[in-house]
Amino acid sequence: MSAPVAEGVEAANPVERFDRTPATSVRQHPERASYDRAVVHAILDESLFCQVGFAVDGKPFVIPCIHARIGSTLYLHGGLASRLMQVVASGAEICVSATIVDGLVLARSWFAHSFNYRSVVVFGTGRIVIDLVEKARALRAVVEHVAPGRSREARPPSPKEMAATAVVAIEITSGSAKVRRGLPRDADSDYELPVWAGELPLQLTPLPPVSDPRMPAGLDLPDSVRDYRRPGQA
């Protein structure tokens, strides 16, 4: 997917790394940081939902939200009257965070306990999406983000439903990822302790689907449900 050509002084070519800024520089465990756009994008794509942060008169808000990414644009949707939609549409600065926990890191000491995780924090400013072609494309991306293939199985929105849904776009201007993997890193003197240590991997896993009893008889489970997994998941 090609990035839109940036206007103004920014280079028009795809930029593969985010510039480090005071806001995005990872200070705690900088060895876990990545400023690689591909790493940031992959974590955003695998994360089922995100947390959207904004400030109103200096008061912070964090709201869980479903997102979809196209290029370096994040799309969110919601009710027209929601605070989140209104603030994002106003062009205020937005912070979006998404986290995938891959496991518990169980060390010999409380102190060395950790998580294995992949997280991103990105910043950008929003705009409301008015163009109907972009809006439909964004809503398709949201459905596909949640359940790949589902947009072809279910009924697309009517003009009335389109009008009842607000879509906002956030251009990601800066951001970073943070990734921890592997076993505990205990203090040298702790390796003799008789304490079980290791990783307990965790994964968001589908359980058996629950069919709506009001369906017409004889419908098979669709591909989007039978083979459900997050992008990047084995």
Binders of its own copies among residues 136 to 175 (CB under 8 A) are 139-140, 143, 146-147, 150-151, 153-158, 161, 164-165
Supply the minimum distance, in Å, between the C-beta of residue 168 and its own copies. Answer: 14
The three-state secondary structure class of 74 is strand
User: Is residue 75 a contact point for its own copies (CB under 8 A)?
Assistant: no
Count of residues interacting with its own copies (CB under 8 A): 94
Q: Which of 12, 15, 38, 62 binds its own copies (CB under 8 A)?
A: 62
Supply the minimum distance, in Å, between the C-beta of residue 38 and its own copies. Answer: 21
Interface of this chain with its own copies, residues 173 to 232, rule: CB under 8 A: 183-184, 190-212, 214-216, 219-222, 224-225, 228
Radius of gyration of the CA atoms of the chain, in A = 21
DSSP annotation string for 80-99: TT-HHHHHHHTT-EEEEEEE
Phi, psi torsion values for 212, nearest 5 degrees: -70, 120
The span from the CA of 156 to the CA of 146, in Å, is 15
Q: Which amino acid is at 196?
A: W
Interface of this chain with its own copies, residues 35 to 54, rule: CB under 8 A: 48-49, 51-54
Torsion of CA 162, 136, 146, 175, to 10 degrees: -110
Interface of this chain with its own copies, residues 76 to 135, rule: CB under 8 A: 78-79, 81-83, 93-97, 99, 101, 103-104, 106-111, 113, 115, 117, 119, 121
